Amino acid sequence: MASERVLMKQGAEAKLYKCNFYGRPCVVKERFKKTYRHSALDASLTTQRMKAEVRAMLRSRMCGIPTPTVYFVDMVSSSIYMEELQDSQTVRNYISNIQNETTDINLAMAVLQPLGKRIGEILGVMHKNNIIHGDLTSSNMLLKGEPSSHDIVMIDFGLSHFENMAEDKSVDLYVLERALLSTHPNTERLFRVILDAYCAANPDGAKEVLHKLDEVRMRGRKRTMVG
């Protein structure tokens, strides 16, 4: 059974707690009720999203993409009990630390290039298997163990779904691109490395996805200009 839970943080959709689950360090993701929605609709949406999140994590693991192990799903409390990755850091923190350590963009890029390649490989496999993450940011990727091993664990599949359309996959990449550039300045080359590795891992579908990505970028620029 689970020990007393300690609140870690709260997001827009859920609260994260730490506890022990039968002696194992555990993170509990609990979706809370949205009072602005009809209670029946809120319950239905919460159930659908929880099921989609767990399915995406399990399918990713079946495809060789590391995700936290799911220990238990409690539909009554809308909670997912999963493995706590103790020896880890977010990719966001890792990139920021590298950039803070040097003002030389070329040197930073040389260090980050293997990481970008690994990210691209993972995303290529995900999209090849029609897994849409829905919230690709450097905060939703964990580096486990030594950073040099580039052992990436994908987390937070709360907005995930399954889709074969190139449009959805291109939006996934666009979200990552915008997140990288807004959080980590001068990472245009890093995203290019990610795309190259993505294409190598998903050769059959990448061309159409990148074509759609250009269209999504154009729509994003138009929205920015219009305001």
Q: Express each pLDDT in 200-209 by its tens digit.
A: 999 999 999 9
pTM of the model: 0.91
Lowest mean pLDDT among 54-63, 70-79, 99-108: 99-108
d(Cα 166, Cα 213) in Å, to the nearest integer? 9
List pLDDT tens digits, range 129-179.
999 999 999 999 999 988 778 899 999 999 999 999 999 999 999 999 999
Q: What are the residues facing 79 on neighbouring strands?
A: 30, 74
Domains and CATH numbers, the chain: 6-83 (3.30.200.20), 88-226 (1.10.510.10)
For residue 2, give the amino acid letter.
A
Residue 38 and residue 46 in contact, taking contact as beta carbons nearer than 8 Å:
no
**What pLDDT, on a 0 to 100 scale, did the predictor assign at position 226?**
44
Instruction: Tell me the sheet residues that pair with 80.
Output: 29, 73
pLDDT for 221 equals: 65
- A 10 A CB-CB count for 108 gives 21
- Kindly name the residue from 74, 87, 104, 135 that is annotated as catalytic: 135
pLDDT of residue 11: 84
Q: Is 151 a catalytic residue?
A: no
- pLDDT, position 225: 46
